[in-house]
Amino acid sequence: MIISPSIYRAFENAPGFDADAFCGVHASGEQISSIRINPAKLNDLSDLGFSVESPVPWCKSGWYLEERPFYTFDPLLHAGAYYVQEASSMFLEQALKQTLDCSAPLRVLDLCAAPGGKSTHIQSVLSPDSVLVCNEVIRSRAAILEENITKWGGANVIVTNNDPRDFSRLTGLFDAMVVDAPCSGSGMFRKDASAAENWSADLVTLCSQRQQRIIADIWPSLKEDGILIYATCSYSIEEDEMIADFIMEELGAESFPLSIDSNWNIVISNSPKYNATGYRFYPDKLKGEGFFLAVFKKTSGTEKSSKKSVRPKWETVPKINYKVLERWLSVKGMRFISINDSILALTEQMEETLVQLQSLYIKRAGITMGKIAGKELIPDHSLALSTLVSPHLSSIELDRDLALQYLRKEEIRVGDIPKGWTIACYKNHPLGWIKVLPNRTNNYYPKEWRILKPA
């Protein structure tokens, strides 16, 4: 890809930018493939149907691949065993681990979360008694976020579909927030040619204004001493260092520098006015796409919201049903609530957070167990993919062809196995439910997620 001078000249004031090397790496046509594995689901890399090349240096679960596989036809992707993610953005792990006590129960907001790359990463880094709220303002994208969160299987995630301004009244609620802001996308030029076609100086200005608005909107919901991690995939200082200055000047924050290995070739930048530290990733200097990240600690106080006891909008599940429900899980002690007849399993911290979030549009929370019919549970897909599903339920191992048939939502023929609900697995990783009837099996894979691409 040839980057036109009218574009790359706009980045010449960016710290560390080298026009010749930048144009060279875009012209070379080289593409980098990387994945991040789900440590709660995959502990043996040899289960992957393709070879990994080398680790991503700044992320424990990140791997570069030798070549790009056909991900759509890999059942393990659909099982949530890994996520296809660009390597530079996995640097988020350093920001989380160096600024937070990730073994403590934290409340974290991922504000611009779809499709879920950073959310699934944050979920893997936080402790199970933390709560991660993933928000996406665009409805169709919130559905994709929900799908990826469900596949990842963490029980401590709430997905919301709100405008950032809806968070402003949740004063002092979060210990940390990640704003992976909508941006002009120059960092993605190499992966996505349309990003270069759509790029303009006006777009940078528009994005910069929007970024300021978004951060100002959610700022009250960050606790005093809370951590803000701000990221973009833009090289423009208007969206990076100048936003860092805006945060320092307008909102009351201090810059939080990270320690990084000089071999990583990340460019350290300082904002023009307040010297805030930022981290710049250039594709001509390291194996990854364009990315910017900066961390801030909130110094100004926000009064914590007065804890009015709001009556929850949901019903509690009668204790008599707990036995039926707990049979499906590998842990005891979850709380069960019922919303629109659907039963959710929540940790104590999740239930407390959900009470605080009642003014938001909640798309999913915890594990959707399913619906009770008579004395039986009709299990939800989310339960099959949860990392807390009981290992003692009936399951059947499918080979790759059968697994793909299952993921296309076709009828699959299985041998003589007990009747009733059974988890369809590939390499021991749950893909979803089938119901075995006397003369056939019903495939309960969600219609909207099925593989449509011909083989």
Q: Name the site residues for ligand SAM (rule: CB under 6 A).
A: 112-118, 136-138, 141, 164, 180, 182, 210, 214
Helix (H) or strand (E) holding 135: strand 131-135
Q: How far, in Å, CA of 44 to CA of 25, rounded?
A: 34
Question: Is the Cβ–Cβ distance between 248 and 254 less than 8 Å?
Answer: yes
At closest approach, how far in Å is the CB of 160 from ligand SAM?
12
The identity of residue 392, as a single letter, is H
Of the pair 149, 317, the CB lying nearest ligand SAM is at: 149
Of the pair 137, 170, the CB lying nearest ligand SAM is at: 137
Of the pair 80, 164, the CB lying nearest ligand SAM is at: 164
Of the pair 317, 357, the CB lying nearest ligand SAM is at: 357
Q: How far, in Å, CA of 131 to CA of 347, rounded?
A: 9
Q: Residue 205: which residues within 8 A CB-CB, separation 6 or more?
A: 238
Q: Strand ranges (DSSP E) for 5-105?
A: 34-37, 52-55, 62-65, 82-84
Q: How far, in Å, CA of 258 to CA of 15, rounded?
A: 17
- Written as six digits, the tokens of 284 are 């001509």
At closest approach, how far in Å is the CB of 20 from ligand SAM?
28
Comparing CA positions, the residue from 193, 192, 204, 196 lying closest to residue 4 is 196
Of the pair 120, 271, the CB lying nearest ligand SAM is at: 120
At closest approach, how far in Å is the CB of 119 from ligand SAM?
7
At closest approach, how far in Å is the CB of 211 from ligand SAM?
9
Comparing CA positions, the residue from 229, 226, 184, 191 lying closest to residue 207 is 184
At closest approach, how far in Å is the CB of 192 from ligand SAM?
12
At closest approach, how far in Å is the CB of 33 from ligand SAM?
16
At closest approach, how far in Å is the CB of 120 from ligand SAM?
8
Beta carbons within 10 angstroms of residue 191's beta carbon: 16
Of the pair 49, 220, the CB lying nearest ligand SAM is at: 220
At closest approach, how far in Å is the CB of 351 from ligand SAM?
26
Indicate the angle between helix axes 92-99 and 117-125, nearest 10 degrees.
Answer: 30
Tokens 């071999």, residue located: 263
Residue 262 vs residues 266, 284, 334: alpha-carbon distances, Å? 7, 16, 45
Q: How far, in Å, CA of 150 to CA of 153, rounded?
A: 5
Of the pair 122, 343, the CB lying nearest ligand SAM is at: 122
User: CA 274, 277, 281 angle in degrees (round to 5)?
Assistant: 135
Of the pair 183, 362, the CB lying nearest ligand SAM is at: 183
Q: Residue 448: which residues within 8 A CB-CB, separation 6 or more?
A: 143
Of the pair 60, 141, the CB lying nearest ligand SAM is at: 141
At closest approach, how far in Å is the CB of 260 from ligand SAM?
20
